[in-house]
Amino acid sequence: MAASVEVGMSREYGTINLSTLAEDIEKGLEIFADVLRNPAFREDKLELRKQQSIERIRRRNDNPIQLAWRNFSALLYGTDHPFGWYTEMEGIESITVDNLKAFHAKYYHPDNMMLAITGDFDTETLISQLEKVFEGWEGAKIAFPDVPTVDGTPKPSVNYIFKDFPQTTMLIGHFGIKRTPDFPDFFALRVMNEILGEGGFTSRLMTEVREKHGLAYMVGSLMQTTYYTNPGEWFAYSQTRTEKTAEAISLIIDVVKGLRDVPVPEAELQRTKDSLINSFVFGFESSSQIAFQQMMLDYRGYAPSFLETYTDNIAKVTAADVQAVAQKYLHPDALTIVTVGNKENFDRPLDEFGAVNEIEIERPAPPPPPEPMPEASETDVAKAKEVLAAAVEAHGGLEKLKAVKNIVIEARATANSPMGQMQVEGKSYYVYPDKFRQDVKLPQGEMGYVFDGASGFAMTPMGVQPLPPDVTNSFKDAVFRETIWLLTNLSKNEISVQYAGTEDVQGTSAHVLLVPQPSGEALRLFVSEETHYVIKFAYREMAQGVTANRESLMDDYRDVDGVKVAYHVVQNVDGQLFSESWATGVTLNAELDDTLFQEPN
C-alpha cells in the first residue's frame, strides 16, 4: 500500500496525519490508530533523536538568525517563562522512554482530540471503520498545566552578541498581541504589517532599506500572534553589512515611525489589500488544507464563517485603520534590539540607541573527534598505489586529468526528505583545488551554497547566511572527493593511501582504499576490479544534526573531452536512499566568473 503517517508537535498542539490511497483507507486507518494509541517509543529511535537534538544545540550558535531570535524571546519573556526558555543538552540527555510513555498516557485521549477527514470515501462506511479502530479508547480528565502570564509591557534594551561574521543580523521589536476570536484589530494589523515588512519586495522595509539605500539583502517584519494568555512578538529583522549596522537600525526605526505618523497613500493601501486577497486562495489548494483550516477554527473558537468573510474584512480596511493600529501596537521608542555581529567593524557605536548589554553565548562541548585511520603496512601502501595507477589510467590518464581545472555538472535528481520525495534540479561547480558552488531549484524555491576554500555561505529565501564550521568542513571534504581532482591529487603521492582489501559493490568486486580527508575523517574509496572506475565512496559526515554514515554509488561513466565522468549517482545515508541524480550536462574547464564565489551585495 502507498501511505504515510506523520506526527508533529508545536508549543500549542500536537498533530498526527494519515495520507493514503482511497482503496487502502481501511488498512491505513488501522496503522494510523495504532500509531496514535500504541506508539512504540523504541529506545534506538529515541537515542537517534536525542543525538540529533544535541548536535543542533552544538551548532545553534553558528546560525546568527537563530541566535538573535532565541535571545530576543528570552529578553522579552525572561527565564521564568517557558516562552523564554531554550533547550539545553542536559534536558535532552535526561529524556527517557518512560518520560515519553508518561506524556502520551497523560495527554493522548479521545476527549482531547479533534479529527478532520477529506477525500474520496463513503461517509457511513468511514464512520464504521473509525469506530472499529478506536473502539475501547477511553477518555480522561486531564490536568493541563497553567501557562504563566506576562503583562506585555515593552522592555526596551539594546543587546549585542559577538560573532565575527561579515554581516550583522538584527531583530528589533517588542511584545505583539494576544489574538482572540473577538479581537477587533486583526485585519487592520494584517494589512499594516504587510505594508511594513511582511509584503516581500513591495513592503516599505524592503523598498527603503534594501532597494533605496542598499543596506540589506534580507529585511522584513513579522507580527506573531498567540492564542495563549500572553502576547506574541512583533519584530523587524535584517541582515546588513557590518559597516552599515547603526545606519540600518536607524532607518528601520524611521520606517516604523513613518507608518505611525503619516496615513498610508491610497494606492499603496489598495495594492497591499489586493495582494492579500489574491494570495488568500493559495492557503486552500488542497482538500487537506481546507479540512485542517476548518478544524483549527473550531479548535480556537472562531466562527465557521471566519474564512468566508476574510477577504471582505481585508477589503474594508482603511488608511485610518492602518495608522490607528500602527500607533496602538508599534512602539518605536520602546524597542528591544538584538544584534549579532562584530562591533569593531560597526559604523557607529550601538549606545546611540541606549545602554548596550553584551550577551555572552554558551559554548557547548565539541562533537566527537574523527575516527583515526589504522596503521598501514608497506604492502598495503604499495598495493594502493597500484590500484590508483589503474584508476587514473581508466579515467583518462594522468595528463588528461591534470589538465582539468574545473568541472561544471548540471543534473536532475530525486531526493527524499521529511516532507516526502522531491524533484530537484541543480548545477554544481568544482574549481580545483578548493572552491565549490551549488545552485539548487527546489519545489519551495531556489537555494545556493558557496565555499571559497576557507569559508562559505548559503543563499536562501531568507537571505544570505554564513556556513557553520561543520558544514564548512563538509564542503572541504566534498571538493576533495570530486573524482577527477581526487585521482589527480592522490597521484602526487603526498597523501597517505592504504589498501584495505576487496568488497562487493552491487555485484561488482571492488578494491577498497583508505584515504584521509581534510576533516580528518577516513574516506573509503572503491575501485572496480573490472573497469578500474571509482564506483563508490563511503565516509562519515554530519547529516541532519547527527554524525551519519554516507555513501555515494557512481555508474554510467561517459567520455567528456577524453575524461570519464559518472552520469548517475546514488546517495545513501545510514543505509537509506537519500537521493538519486542524473547528469544532464557536464563541462570541463568552463569559463567561470570569480563573482560566482563572492557573497552578493
Topology of the domain covering 378-597: outer membrane lipoprotein receptor (LolB), chain A (2.50.20)
Q: What angle, rounded to 10 degrees, do the helices at 319-329 and 186-193 form?
A: 90
Question: Is pLDDT larger for residue 453 or for residue 390?
Answer: 390
pLDDT score recorded for residue 364? 59
568 neighbors 555 (Cβ within 8 angstroms): yes
Question: How many secondary structure helices (H) and strands (E) does the chain include?
Answer: 17, 21
233 neighbors 257 (Cβ within 8 angstroms): no
Question: Is pLDDT larger for residue 1 or for residue 23?
Answer: 23
pLDDT score recorded for residue 351? 96
State pLDDT tens for residues 423-475: 899 999 999 999 999 999 876 568 899 999 988 988 875 568 788 777 888 89
| 231 vs 203: CA distance, rounded Å | 24
Q: What is the mean pLDDT of residues 239-264?
A: 96
pLDDT score recorded for residue 342? 93
pLDDT at 414 over 60: yes
pLDDT at 399 over 90: yes
The angle subtended at Cα 388 by Cα 382 and Cα 391, nearest 5°, is 150
Residue 292: Cβ within 10 Å count: 17
Predicted confidence band at 419 (pLDDT cuts at 50, 70, 90)? very low
pLDDT at 510 over 90: yes
Q: Where are the domains of the chain?
A: 3-63+78-133, 157-358, 378-597
The angle subtended at Cα 578 by Cα 574 and Cα 582, nearest 5°, is 135
Judge if the upstream peptide bond of residue 433 is cis by omega within 30 degrees of 0. yes
Instruction: Assign 84 to helix, strand or coil.
Output: helix
The C-alpha cell of 485 is what?
581532482
Identify the H or E element spanning 524. strand 522-528
334 neighbors 136 (Cβ within 8 angstroms): no
Distance, C-alpha 470 to centroid of its chain: 15
pLDDT at 379 over 50: yes
pLDDT score recorded for residue 462? 54
| 524 vs 483: CA distance, rounded Å | 13
Q: What angle, rounded to 10 degrees, do the helices at 266-280 and 186-193 form?
A: 110
Q: What is the mean pLDDT of residues 384-412?
A: 97
pLDDT at 59 over 80: no
Pairing label, strands 508-516, 498-505: antiparallel
| 415 vs 224: CA distance, rounded Å | 32
The C-alpha cell of 267 is what?
494606492
**CA–CA distances in Å: residue 593 to residues 458, 590, 597, 598:** 19, 10, 8, 10
The angle subtended at Cα 424 by Cα 422 and Cα 428, nearest 5°, is 145
| 118 vs 524: CA distance, rounded Å | 49
Beta strand spans in 396-444 (E)? 406-417, 420-431, 435-442
| Architecture of the domain whose range is 157-358 | 2-Layer Sandwich (3.30)
pLDDT score recorded for residue 582? 96
Identify the H or E element spanning 294. helix 287-300
Of 130, 159, 591, 145, give the one whose Cα is nearest residue 405.
591
Helix then strand then coil, % of the chain, to nearest 5: 40, 30, 30
pLDDT at 19 over 50: yes
CB neighbour burial string for 182-217, b if at least 16 within 10 angstroms, e if fewer:
eeebbbbbbbbbbbbbbbeeebbbbbbbbeeeebbb
362 neighbors 62 (Cβ within 8 angstroms): no
Percentage of residues of the chain with pLDDT beyond 90:
63
Going by C-beta distance under 8 Å and a sequence separation of 6 or more, which residues neighbour residue 17? 4, 5, 6, 7, 8
- Enter the pTM of the model: 0.69
Instruction: Assign 286 to helix, strand or coil.
Output: coil
Instruction: For CA atoms 173, 237, 75, 227, give the dihedral sign.
Output: positive
| 128 vs 130: CA distance, rounded Å | 5
Going by C-beta distance under 8 Å and a sequence separation of 6 or more, which residues neighbour residue 104? 39, 41
pLDDT score recorded for residue 309? 94
pLDDT at 254 over 90: yes
Round the average pLDDT of the chain to a whole number and report it.
Answer: 90
> What is the gyration radius of the CA atoms in the chain, in angstroms?
28
pLDDT at 185 over 90: yes
Under DSSP, the state recorded for 178 is B
pLDDT score recorded for residue 556? 97
Instruction: Assign 448 to helix, strand or coil.
Output: strand
> Alpha helix locations (H) across 60-215?
64-77, 89-94, 97-107, 123-133, 186-193, 204-205
Q: What is the mean pLDDT of residues 496-508?
A: 93
pLDDT at 160 over 50: yes
pLDDT score recorded for residue 363? 67
The C-alpha cell of 232 is what?
506574541
- What is the residue type of 238? S
pLDDT score recorded for residue 544? 45
HEC secondary structure over 583-599: EEEEEECCCCCHHHHCC
Domain 3-63+78-133 annotated CATH 3.30.830.10: yes
Q: What is the mean pLDDT of residues 398-407?
A: 97
φ, ψ dihedrals at 240, nearest 5°: -135, 165
State pLDDT tens for residues 186-234: 999 999 999 999 888 889 999 999 889 989 878 999 988 766 667 889 9
Going by C-beta distance under 8 Å and a sequence separation of 6 or more, which residues neighbour residue 453? 433, 434, 435, 476
Residue 271: Cβ within 10 Å count: 15
Same fold, 3-63+78-133 and 157-358: yes
| 585 vs 410: CA distance, rounded Å | 5
Question: Is pLDDT larger for residue 461 or for residue 263?
Answer: 263
φ, ψ dihedrals at 91, nearest 5°: -65, -45
pLDDT score recorded for residue 100? 97
- What is the residue type of 165? F
Identify the H or E element spanning 258. helix 245-261
Q: What is the mean pLDDT of residues 159-182?
A: 90
Predicted confidence band at 417 (pLDDT cuts at 50, 70, 90)? low
State pLDDT tens for residues 75-124: 999 888 888 888 888 999 999 999 999 999 999 999 999 999 998 899 99
pLDDT at 30 over 50: yes
Distance, C-alpha 206 to centroid of its chain: 23
Beta strand spans in 192-260 (E)? 216-224, 233-241
> Alpha helix locations (H) across 396-447?
398-402
| 553 vs 533: CA distance, rounded Å | 11
